[in-house]
Structure 1
Amino acid sequence: MEDINRWLLSSYLNESVNHDFAIRRYCPARMEQEQGGECQDQEGVVFDDTELCSSDDSTPCLASSEVDDFVDSFINMDQYEKADQGYQEKHKSFGHFVVSNDDDEADEYSSMNGVFGYLPTTMEDSELEIYENLTTSMLEEEVVAMSDSLGAIPEFVHCAKEANLGVDQGLELVHMLLACAEAVGCRDNQQAELLIRRIWTLASPSGDALQRVSYCFATGLKCRLSLLPYNVITNGTLTDTSMDMPLINRENKMEAFQLLYQTTPYIAFGFMAANEAICQASQGKSSIHIVDLGMEHTLQWSSLIRAFASRHEGPPMLRITGLTDHEDNSKLQTSMSVLVEEASSLGMHLEFQTISEPASPSLLTVEKLNLRKGEALFVNSILQLHKYVKESRSYLKEILLSVKKLGPTAFTVVEQDTNHNGPFFLGRFLESLHYYSAIFDSLEACMPRNSQQRMKIERLHFADEIQNIVAYEGPERTERHERVDQWRRQLGRAGFQVIPLECTSQVRMMLSVYECDGYTLSCEKGNLLLGWKGRPVMMSSAWKVASM
């Protein structure tokens, strides 16, 4: 704690904790840009957007008051609902969560337009073994190794032992994250590196929620800098700073996803809503075919099979076709075999098949999917559609039109409810920082800090998403999440209309199982939204081809 206090008392940071703090204090190049010039170094070397990054990186500067408002909302998570334009007064309360019936609720978050990039978490298989038998000393060793590889300063290891950050330190940490994002946006690499080192004196992968999420975002910013083929330093020379960042393998990601499913309602909420929509729309159908876009697991289907087996009219014949872009699907096939046996024990016929090809307009045809007459077709997309948005929405439109041509009885869509696909880097950074701070706050409320499960969820799942949003551009950036109103427009333009979800009571019962106050549930124009303290996190919806 002494190191932090000594750091905060330095003259430079005393200036920055003033209430009138502005990002441009940390980014001299932004001042030049605002005055009509280009970001350039002392020797006149111009930072050319076309050479260093995509053209959408020029970032509007935030006013001091906007920074303060954002920081206040970030730090004071408990006040989020109160700031939500009278959220409590507009909704019906059900115990520890809230259900909304106001279809015209204002979308206060869509104004946060954003843009940045992606990079997977920097953990090798050998490092994952550390978390199997986690101890404080072992964590410190792992942190030191990561700090050395990424250029972080070792002092942050001592900060990892500390308890919650004070309010001033938390404010300072968020201010520095915004300033660092601003510096990265205007190519002030030297200032960005300095700020990242300062951030790592307070951020920690084992601290409180703010420290943990800040560590992930700082790592993402560092990774974005490393992805540039060259850095321009103060004397005008070019230095190669590219790094080979180790990728998390498929098994690690799947393990983290399963842990997220087991310990929080975010994934289970999507499965439940989609399955309920399928059950409702399939009443009276004797033969059902589900096409699952982007199948990585079979976690969703066991509960659906049991629901079908208990139908009054008897179980239907069920086929599930999983589209996957992986060649090796041996583990998926094994899981499928278990489900086939389970269905058989319940007196139900189940067929499973996989197609090792990602969803595309050429694949989404009657012939390629082997659709049969008399089957009720359902298309299921769990956290997949945002991957087809790309830099323009034309490809997403092609996917949606292809699904429409199949004539599904219902099209179930579950997505993250946030805007991580706007036109400006800083806006995307702000929105993602706000979004993931809510998620990390929920993990803080529900799981102890020394939880190995929590560590894996944060480092192997959410950190991976954060780095994709923050560090990559172009086709490599796949985490292009969008808000529920944007999905409503896109699906509507493609010829779909919403099927109102009627599983509020079931979701309410599910949430009661999680002994953690703060989860919120609302309904917006037939779509269900699951959030944390009023901040939407996940969206579930069902659609059908619009009648002409």
Structure 2
Amino acid sequence: MNLTLSLAVNGGTGTGKKRKVRDGVVDDVGDGGDRGRVVRLLQARERMVVRLESDDQRVAPDAAAAGGLRLMQLLLSSVAAGEAGDVRAATAALHEVYRRASFRGGDPALRVAAYFADALAPGLRLRSPATAASPRPTPWEQFLAYTMFYQASPLYQFAHFTANQAIVEAFEAGGRRSLHIVDFDVSYGFQWPSLIQSLSDAAAAADAASTSGSHDGDCKEPVSLRITGLGTSADELRQTKARLTRFASGCPNVRFEFEGIVTSGPSSGRHERIKNDDDDATVVVNLAFPASQSSRASAREACSALARIRSLNPSLVFLVERGGAGNGTPRGRSSLVPPFTASLRYFAAVFDSLHESLPADSAERLAIERNYLGTEIRNAVASLDRSHGGDGHTAAEPCSSASWKEMMESAGFEAVALSSRTVSQAKLLLKMKSGCGGGGGFRVVEGGGGRAMSLGWRDSALITTTAWRRRRRRSIGKISS
């Protein structure tokens, strides 16, 4: 049974009936069948794009909140109708979203709803309103938008600085001079310059202390840092390598090496073994924003990732998840609605937080939403749609219906407490961002007995970080006793 919006639309079965407005959802009106519905959907989106936004700026807070809630309900109605095979109702709900939403509205809920509507539209397997009316951003536009988002929001900085602090502590505890990081989604590599600088400064301080008072003036060998970065674009990996290599060249106390592995496409190295030929290196795995376990496709990816992680025998695995940690899909549940709801809530909170950081009429904010967050939403919905397009029996997969916490524990890892320095650094980051207008609504939330730390926005957890190591024998004894 197909549980996605990617349902083949029956041709020539229009009933020609007049439909009424029921509970705010406009049903199909007039004849024309499926073609007519799509034409009207395109027209509704076009009206949304060209509509003047002056009224949106003056919407009262209570009215805006009610309108945002209604838009969320309509989006969920569209998804649920698609699962039930009712394309007419799915299209009608989407039509109503376009009637109410806005890419440039003063309320962030209007904007996030507009992007989700565009992400859902291609699932009707007809001409996409998004494709028809707005071109996809170029790779350069996406990079610029990501850079602006990185600077405007503490979200990625929180994840990166927290991870780097834990990595430095694991490296120092190992007492070695070589560090190998395996990053399962290196992206643009923005996480690593601060780590390279920290390692260089620490090595310089240690060498100065060890040679103080001596007359030979000899210094130790520089720290060796190797990053194996996985990504989906060969060009992007090459640019990331060049960017990081150029930065590392200014840090003489670090000997840097980068290897990129493409994980999709004709040049994929998905099955290539990650090289780990330095027995003296401290191995750390960076697992940021892995796929959720709501589908068979992502379950297979998770199983593959865990197998590769185990083979590396890492000293530390640092995990960054969207939302709260430990949120798995209920066993036996194959509906698209729960993961879609989680994704909708996450991006709604991100849009809301960005709205507080940048003015409503900010060209920078518009570029971030259009060229980066909009793309992220489209990719997230497409991923859910593809992975729920089969027979729906996700519970039969080895890693499905499990949270990353459960999978890490099953794979022989245990969560470790984050250091007080890691927590204080995260709080300092938010304090600094608050001082420049970007962190007022953010907060650090500790949980799991000190083994988890979340970046909260108002009453939502945007991301949660945890650190893992191989389970020790004494821990196994405690569990079995």
- So what's the TM-score if we normalise by structure 1? 0.63
CA contact (8 A) 1:273 1:501 kept: no
**Is the counterpart of residue 304 in structure 1 residue 195 in structure 2?**
yes
Matched, 1:223 2:147: no
Q: Deviations over 1:368-418 (max 9, x none)?
A: x14212111112222245599753624412321321121111112222126
- Alignment of 1:270 with 2:167, yes or no, is no
2:361 to 450, 463, 473: 450
**Maintained 8 Å contact 2:75/2:117:** yes
Deviation of residue 151 (structure 1)?
5.5
Provide, for residues 219-261 of structure 1, a one-character-per-residue CA deviation record: whole Å limited to 9, x for no partner: 2222222x26xxxxxxxxxxxx578946544333333222221
Is the contact made by 1:177 and 1:214 (CA closer than 8 Å) also made in structure 2? yes
Could you give the per-residue CA deviations for residues 449-486 of structure 1, whole angstroms, max 9, x where no partner exists?
A: 12222112222222223223434523599xx9x9xx92
Q: Structure 1 385/308 Cα, relative in aligned 2: closer, same or farther at 3 Å?
A: farther
Q: Equivalent pairs: percent with the same residue?
A: 25
- Matches of 2:292 and 2:73, distance apart in 1: 30
1:264-316 superposed Cα distances (whole Å, 9 cap, x missing partner): 01100110111011111111221112222232222111111221122253462
Partner of 1:253: 142
Of 207-216 and 161-170, more deviation after overlay is shown by 161-170
Distance of 1:413 and 1:405 partners within structure 2 = 17
Equivalent residue runs for 1:343-492 within 5 Å: 343-344=251-252, 347-357=253-263, 362-365=271-274, 369-384=275-290, 386=292, 390-391=296-297, 393-417=299-323, 423-471=334-382, 473-475=385-387, 486-492=403-409
Correspondence for 1:514: 433
Q: Give the match for residue 238 of structure 1.
A: none
| 1:291 maps onto 2:182 in alignment | yes
Residues 1:203 and 2:96 aligned together: no
The one-letter amino acid paired with 1:191 is: A
User: Given the alignment, which residue of 51, 55, 68 partners 1:158?
Assistant: 51
Tell me, yes or no, if structure 1 residue 531 matches structure 2 residue 456. yes
Taking a change above 3 Å as real, the CA distance of residues 399 and 298 of structure 1, as seen in their structure-2 partners, is: closer
Q: Which has the higher contact order (CA 8 A, sep 6+)?
A: 1
Q: Work out whether residues 26 and 96 of structure 2, in 8 Å CA contact, stay in contact via their aligned partners in 1.
A: no
Does 1:495 find its partner at 2:412?
yes
Which residue of 2 is the match for residue 334 of structure 1? 242
* 2:440 is the alignment partner of 1:546: no
> What is the identity, as a one-letter code, of the residue corresponding to 2:160?
F
Note the alpha carbon deviations across 1:508-542, whole angstroms, 9 max, x for none: 00001122321122122202111211211112222
Distance 2:152 2:291 in 1: 24
Query: Which structure features the higher share of helix residues?
Result: 2
Tell me, in whole angstroms, the C-alpha distance in 1 between the residues paired with 2:409 and 2:76: 36
Residues 293, 323 of structure 1: 8 Å contact kept: yes
- Where structure 1 has 5 or more consecutive residues not aligned to the other structure, the ranges are 1-10, 18-24, 29-41, 46-146, 229-240
Superposition CA RMSD, Å: 3.6
Match of 1:21 in 2: none
Amino acid at match of 2:445: S
Query: Whole-Å Cα distance in 1 between the matches of residues 386 and 428 of structure 2?
Result: 41
CA change 1:404–1:209 in 2 (3 A) is same
Deviation readout 1:87-110 (Å, 9 max, x if unpaired) = xxxxxxxxxxxxxxxxxxxxxxxx
Matched, 1:319 2:226: yes
Which whole-Å CA distance do the structure 1 matches of 2:97 and 2:146 have between them? Answer: 28
**Number of residue equivalences:** 393
Q: Is the 1:496–1:546 Cα contact (8 Å) retained in structure 2?
A: yes
Measured against aligned partners, the alpha-carbon deviations of 1:6-55 in whole angstroms (never above 9, x if no partner) come to xxxxx966x637xxxxxxx8789xxxxxxxxxxxxx9xx9xxxxxxxxxx
